[in-house]
């Protein structure tokens, strides 16, 4: 029965890894959506090595451990294979190394099976020598220690590409030492001298690692292993409280005296304060988890290499990005299977030494797993330990398989009776604590992958969006006559956004890998990225198959490039804004904001633009707020005639005109608050043109529109409705009379020039529009100049209105 169960589980594990290998091979085709690509093949060497080595391990356990636990080897083998294929996906060189270390670990595991009883006897008998030897080798890192990465704590011994981290097996040696030490003692009191000796040893080791090697993770694991071992022996819960206080004290001590720990604690408490510096690792880890969502981006399709040390410290984040919450929960479930079966093994152990040994191994594996996964998810501070069986690292993998050997050896009872256990509650508490920890990990993973994912993925430091844009064509922005404004050029893998009419940048914005998004590129992003407007089934299928949305949809704007070009030429090098609107439909025909910039040169000029005092990045037409001054005369006369209104009446009227609220339009827009004094009222050109439109549209303010249609794959061009609704604010007769009273001699439209003071500068306004009896489309125009130049304002109005009326 044991053999069949283990064999069946290993077959399922092999099938899972086989499917993963196929997906990894085909991932370049999925990413580029083409068959003519360079396929991934090297990882098959790792898979075949896994099959051969696991088959040997299976046969060896069947032969030498017929009564073993049948779940432990399959779970550990699946975790190792999953981790190894992930490492092959991330870095082929490290994939080769991990495969070699996997072979070494399995060979050691198999050889140990031939002398399992003798090994346990030697471990128990020579516990002092083993621990002393481990301490001596660890101490050598103080003199000969190195770091394979060239920076950071020197925790390794070795050279020439082969390194060994003594602190990894030292954890297991501590478990063996404590198990043998406690098994030989009966009714040991917490205050006895016999308990003081191991306490001093463990405390000394922890402080050595913490202070000299600056290794908070390993020090924490030592303290936890010791605490849980004593707790399982005595059943005294106050031990857990004391250890918790000690750990907090160690953390505080490390925070004030050890720079590495201080950086990690600060990054844990507030990673958003320095996301590009000290908190870069944890922020990128959270972005990876968020990018994975529920089902993941797809194996080989995500961007886990954006997270530093993804093969080791952050391999959980790499797996979560490409397999999503589903994969992360599966990984956690495998860890829990090993821990749960390990505790069952401990309860059925035939003597106290074996029981303490199995429980200690479970504590070691569980604590280390919780520390590293919790660090990846910001549930705990980063500690830099490895994820057992999964992370890259020869010493970690070898230690994990020695731990597995110990569990299997203890589980091989050969039908002997379990040793007496007077009080099983401590083991129940341990199971509960580990289960609660893994449940917290699962909930936290879901929090970042589902709840916080939308906000995180919109961060400008999330390069995954721009990477995806290189492989999926982004929709175009077109003018009302389908002339292109912003387009995507290139081929899959090299797609690049190109801005054909750079002067429109303050309005249309940009999408950039460093500076994020702005303008219409941001507000219409869901359409342009294919997340909106496509059938939900297509979006779901593309996400499942490619890990990305379908190709983006083209969006047609209400702008006329002919009129827009005219407005930009007339405004020239003068700071200000021009808006021309269809007064009936609310469609914006031209929107100029100067000074402007070229988004095609954002990579070179982005930082300088953000510091430019003339603020070229700001869309003055919608985001600029200017004092209205005498420009409001036509609007005031339309409602109050020649009477002088009270301030409360005037303020209510301005509120009706929409000056104290944001225009309902797909773009960032500013507005003044009703709390401001009326004589200092500020309005944006967009707010002003909407109010002016009422004088040319029978007293009705239209709902503004900029995006008018989207080209869907099923229905073609689909008209987009306006966000707001038209509303009457002025009686028709009164608006007609007001417009007629501002007709300039010899012109076929009304206009008014007003001015206002802004600190030491003068703001010039031009308000204009077609006459009430105009037979064509009614127009409204606003010109705002950041200078005292009534002639230029009138000239721009004359030329632009004539061009619009005559086209």
pLDDT digits 0-9 by tens, 415-450: 677 878 878 888 999 999 999 999 999 999 999 999
Q: What is the pLDDT at residue 669?
A: 87
User: Is residue 130 very low, low, confident or very high in pLDDT (cuts 50, 70, 90)?
Assistant: confident
Q: Is the pLDDT of residue 553 over 60?
A: yes
For 182-205, what is the mean pLDDT? 63
* Residue at token pair 């050595």: 208
What does the pLDDT look like over 623-648, one tens digit per residue?
A: 999 998 899 899 888 888 878 888 78
668-689: string of b/e by CB count within 10 Å (b at 16+)?
bbbbbeeeeeeeebbbbbbbbb
> What string of H, E and C letters represents the secondary structure of 98-131?
HHHHHHHHHHHHHHHHCCHHHHHHHHHHCHHHHH
Contact (Cβ atoms closer than 8 angstroms) between residue 556 and residue 711? yes
Tokens of 455: 């906000």
Burial profile 557-578: b = 16 or more Cβ within 10 angstroms, e = fewer: bbbbbbbbbbbbebbeebbbbb
Summarised one tens digit per residue, pLDDT across range 451-505 is 998 888 888 778 888 888 888 899 999 999 999 999 999 988 889 999 999 999 9
Is 157 a residue whose pLDDT tops 90? no
Say which residue, 746 or 624, is predicted with more confidence: 624
| CB-CB contact of 472 with 483 (8 Å) | no
Residue 415 to residue 410: CA distance in whole angstroms: 12
Q: Quote the pLDDT of residue 419.
A: 78
pLDDT confidence of 408, banded at 50, 70, 90? very high
**Confidence at residue 193, expressed as pLDDT on a 0 to 100 scale:** 54
Task: Please state which of the ranges 120-134, 546-560, 699-713 shows the lowest mean pLDDT.
Answer: 120-134
Q: Which of 237 and 358 is assigned the larger pLDDT? A: 358
Residue 150: its pLDDT value, please?
56
In this prediction, residue 795 carries a pLDDT of 93
Q: Which two tokens stand for residue 463?
A: 């390069």
How does residue 741 score in pLDDT terms, banded at 50, 70 and 90? confident
Q: DSSP state, 271?
A: G
- Span 324-345, mean pLDDT? 95
pLDDT at 549 > cutoff 80:
yes
Name the residue with higher pLDDT: 432 or 198. 432
Instruction: State residue 351's pLDDT score.
Output: 87
Look at residue 189 in the predicted model and tell me its pLDDT.
60
Confidence of residue 373 (pLDDT cuts 50, 70, 90): very high
Residue at token pair 């140990």? 112
pLDDT at 414: 64
CB 706 within 8 A of CB 551: no
> Is the pLDDT at 192 greater than 60, yes or no?
no
Q: What is the pLDDT of residue 206?
A: 57
Can you give the pLDDT at residue 204? 66
pLDDT in tens, 84-124: 999 999 999 999 999 999 999 999 999 999 888 888 888 88
Quickly state the pLDDT bin for 611 (edges 50, 70, 90): confident
For residue 244, give Cα distances in angstroms to 268, 380, 751: 19, 14, 77
**pLDDT tens across 223-263, in order?**
788 888 888 877 777 777 776 777 677 667 666 766 666 77
Confidence grade of residue 191 (pLDDT, cut at 50, 70, 90): low
Least confident of 206-215, 387-396, 591-600: 206-215
Find the DSSP H helices in 65-192. 72-90, 92-113, 116-125, 127-144, 167-183
Q: How confident is the model at residue 212 (pLDDT cuts 50, 70, 90)?
A: low
Q: Which helix (H) or strand (E) holds 429?
A: helix 425-446
Give the per-residue pLDDT at 675.
67
pLDDT recorded at residue 587: 95
Two tokens at 155?
């925790």
- The angle at the Cα of 626, spanning 622 to 631, to the nearest 5 degrees, equals 105
630 vs 245, 375, 744, 788, CA distance in Å? 70, 61, 17, 13
Q: Is 50 exposed, middle or buried (0-12, 13-18, 19+ CB in 10 A)?
A: buried
Best CA proximity match to 694, nearest among 722, 657, 724 = 657
Partners of 750 in beta bridges:
743, 769
Give the whole-number percent of the chain exceeding pLDDT 90: 49
Average pLDDT score over the chain: 87
Greater pLDDT, 88 or 173: 88
């Amino acid at each position: 029965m044991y053999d069949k169960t283990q064999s069946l589980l290993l077959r399922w594990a092999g099938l899972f890894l086989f499917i993963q290998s196929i997906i990894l091979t085909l991932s370049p085709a999925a990413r580029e959506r083409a068959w003519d690509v360079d396929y991934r093949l090297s990882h098959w060497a790792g898979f075949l090595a896994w099959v051969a080595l696991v088959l040997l391990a299976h046969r060896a356990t069947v032969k030498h451990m017929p009564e073993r636990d049948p779940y432990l080897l399959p779970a550990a083998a699946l975790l190792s294979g999953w981790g190894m294929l992930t490492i092959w996906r991330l870095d082929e060189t490290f994939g080769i190394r991990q495969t070699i270390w996997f072979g070494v670990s399995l060979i050691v595991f198999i050889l140990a099976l031939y002398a399992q009883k003798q090994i346990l006897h030697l471990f128990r008998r020579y516990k002092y020598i083993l621990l002393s030897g481990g301490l001596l080798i660890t101490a050598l890192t103080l003199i000969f220690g190195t770091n394979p990465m060239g920076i950071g704590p020197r925790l390794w011994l070795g050279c020439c590409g082969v390194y060994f981290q003594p602190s990894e097996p030292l954890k297991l040696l501590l478990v063996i030492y404590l198990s043998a030490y406690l098994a030989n003692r009966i009714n040991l009191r917490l205050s006895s001298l016999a308990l003081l000796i191991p306490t001093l040893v463990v405390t000394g080791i922890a402080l050595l690692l913490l202070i000299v090697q600056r290794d908070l993770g390993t020090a924490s694991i030592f303290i936890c292993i010791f605490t849980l071992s004593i707790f399982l022996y005595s059943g005294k819960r106050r031990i857990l409280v004391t250890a918790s206080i000690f750990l907090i004290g160690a953390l505080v001590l490390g925070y004030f005296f050890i720079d590495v720990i201080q950086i990690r604690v600060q990054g844990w408490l507030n990673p958003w304060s320095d996301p590009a510096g000290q908190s870069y690792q944890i922020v990128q880890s959270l972005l990876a988890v968020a990018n994975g969502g529920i089902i993941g981006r797809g194996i080989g399709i995500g961007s886990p290499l954006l997270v530093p040390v993804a093969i080791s410290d952050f391999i959980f984040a790499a797996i979560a990005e490409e397999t999503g919450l589903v994969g992360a929960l599966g990984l956690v479930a495998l860890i829990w299977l090993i821990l749960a079966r390990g505790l069952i093994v401990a309860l059925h152990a035939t003597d106290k030494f074996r029981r303490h040994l199995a429980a200690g191994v479970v504590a070691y594996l569980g604590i280390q797993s919780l520390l590293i996964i919790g660090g990846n998810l910001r549930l705990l501070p980063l500690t830099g330990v490895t994820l057992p069986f999964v992370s890259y690292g020869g010493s970690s993998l070898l230690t994990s398989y020695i731990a597995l050997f110990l569990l299997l050896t203890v589980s091989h009872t050969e039908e002997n009776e379990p040793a007496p256990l007077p009080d099983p509650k401590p083991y129940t508490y341990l199971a509960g604590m580990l289960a609660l920890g893994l449940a917290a990990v699962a909930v936290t993973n879901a929090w970042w992958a589902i709840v916080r994912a939308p906000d995180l993925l919109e961060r400008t430091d999330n390069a995954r969006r721009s990477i995806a844009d290189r492989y999926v064509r982004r929709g175009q922005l077109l003018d009302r006559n389908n002339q292109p404004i912003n387009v995507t050029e290139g081929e899959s893998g090299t797609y690049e956004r190109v801005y054909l009419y750079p002067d429109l940048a303050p309005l249309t914005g940009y999408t950039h890998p460093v500076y994020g998004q702005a303008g219409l590129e941001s507000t219409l992003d869901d359409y342009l990225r294919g997340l909106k407007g496509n059938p939900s089934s297509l979006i779901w299928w593309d996400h499942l198959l490619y890990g990305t949305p379908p190709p983006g949809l083209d969006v047609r704007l209400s702008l006329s490039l002919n009129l827009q070009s005219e407005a930009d030429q007339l405004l020239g090098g003068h700071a200000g804004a021009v808006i021309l609107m269809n007064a009936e439909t609310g469609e914006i025909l031209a929107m100029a904001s100067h000074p402007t910039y070229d988004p095609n040169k954002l990579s070179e000029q982005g930082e300088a633009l953000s510091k430019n005092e003339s603020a070229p990045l700001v869309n003055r037409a919608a985001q600029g707020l200017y004092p209205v001054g005498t420009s409001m005369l036509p609007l005031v006369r339309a409602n109050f005639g020649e009477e002088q209104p009270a301030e409360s009446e005037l303020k209510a009227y301005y509120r009706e005109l929409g000056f104290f609220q944001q225009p309902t339009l797909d773009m960032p827009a500013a507005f003044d608050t009703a709390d401001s004094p009326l004589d200092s009222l500020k309005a944006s050109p967009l707010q002003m043109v909407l109010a002016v439109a009422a004088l040319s549209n029978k007293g009705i303010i239209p709902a503004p529109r900029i995006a008018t249609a989207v080209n869907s794959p099923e229905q073609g061009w689909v008209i987009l409705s306006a966000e707001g609704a038209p509303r009457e604010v002025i009686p028709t007769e009164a608006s007609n009379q007001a417009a007629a009273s501002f007709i300039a001699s010899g012109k076929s439209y009304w206009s008014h020039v007003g001015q206002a003071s802004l600190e030491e500068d003068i703001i010039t306004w031009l308000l204009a529009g077609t006459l009430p009896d105009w037979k064509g489309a009614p127009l409204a125009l606003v010109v705002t100049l950041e200078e005292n130049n009534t002639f230029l304002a009138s000239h721009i109005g004359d030329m632009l209105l004539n061009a619009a009326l005559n086209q």
